Amino acid sequence: MKTFVTIPTFNESKNIEPLLREIRSQDPEINIVVADDDSPDGTWRIVEEISKRDPRVFLLRRTSNKGRGSAGVDAFRFALQKEADVVIEMDADFSHDPKHIPRFLEKIRECDLVIGSRAVSHGQDRRKSRLRKWITHFSTFYTRLILGLPVRDCNSGYRCFRREVLEAVNLDTILSTGPSIVQELLFKAHLHGFSICEIAIVFIEREAGESKLNLKRLFQGFLMILRLKVLHLLGRLKDSE
């Protein structure tokens, strides 16, 4: 099973090297794609150096069309072009522990899409901020309600896709340039009838680097979920109707 890990990054210079090391220690064969938006802190430069020593590390240095969502799409496209069978997407800030990778790869044999979930038995959200946890709870409630998703952690960006899922959702039609790509892909995979499973993860707070979440991004995410629902009701979610 040819496996790729894709990681969108922006200003993660303190995290990226130890993260790549930990992923590599999980699996010497795994391919890793970092989609960096020309980070001013030089994250891309660190990845470029590592990629010279490790032929299974790839850097996508993006200078236009920036954003968490479009970086994710570029990395998926790259993995598909390189004939990935399975793609795991994760954040760079150690909230997503690489030690869960082997369990994703086990579970993907049974399901089309596997979600690293904080909301199933043994899953945990270890962040200290009550506000951040509350936002996650509310956002999951809202997403499940509007989009009718049979998933307990709709906001998790730690996921494993079979190639067929990424092909079917048609990456050319993704609307989200920002973080709402997480919910958009989930909704489209669900509309296509793919099987979705959740495995427990322990989600920890970022220790280094700064959060990119702000009120504007949060609000844009809520609006995007409404937009996806309306387009679906109108039969205009291109790839899936």
Ligand X SMILES: Nc1nc2c(ncn2[C@@H]2O[C@H](COP(=O)(O)OP(=O)(O)OP(=O)(O)O)[C@@H](O)[C@H]2O)c(=O)[nH]1
Contact footprint for ligand X (CB under 6 A): 8-10, 12, 35-37, 66-68, 71, 91-93, 95, 206, 211-213
Range list of β-strands (E), 172-240: 196-200, 202-203
Which are the contacts of 182, defined by CB distance < 8 A and separation ≥ 6? 154, 155, 156, 157, 159
Residue (58 or 194) nearer to ligand X, CB: 58
Q: 59 contacts which partner out of ligand X, Mg ion, none, CB within 5 to 8 A by kind?
A: none
Say which entry of ligand X, Mg ion, none residue 67 contacts (CB below 5 to 8 A, set by partner kind).
ligand X
Measured distance CA(26)–CA(233) in Å, rounded? 43
Q: Are 138 and 183 in contact (CB under 8 A)?
A: no
CA distance linking residue 201 with residue 195, whole number of Å: 19
Contact segment (CB under 5 A) with Mg ion among 36-44, 137-145, 169-177, 204-212 equals: 204-212
Q: Scanning the structure block, which residue is given the tokens 């979920």?
A: 225
In the complex, what is the shortest distance from the CB of residue 230 to ligand X, in angstroms, rounded to a whole number?
25
Cα separation, 141 vs 106, in Å, equals 28
From residue 58, alpha-carbon distances to 34, 35, 36 in Å are 6, 9, 11
Find the shortest distance in angstroms from Cβ 53 to Mg ion: 27
Q: Which does 213 bind (CB under 5 to 8 A by kind): Mg ion, ligand X, none?
A: ligand X
Only one of the segments 88-96, 147-155, 161-169, 191-199 lies at the binding site for Mg ion (rule: CB under 5 A); that segment is: 88-96
Q: 230 with 178: CB under 8 angstroms?
A: no
Q: Tokens standing for 149?
A: 């998703």
Select from ligand X, Mg ion, none the partner in contact with residue 99, using the beta carbon and a kind-dependent cut-off of 5 to 8 Å. none
Closest CB to ligand X among residues 36, 153: 36
Question: Of 9, 39, 95, 176, which one interacts with Mg ion (CB under 5 A)?
Answer: 95
> What's the min distance (Å) between Cβ of 60 and ligand X?
9
Q: Choose among Mg ion, ligand X, none what residue 221 binds, the Cβ cut-off being 5 to 8 Å by kind.
A: none
**Which residues contact Mg ion by CB under 5 A?**
91, 93, 95, 206
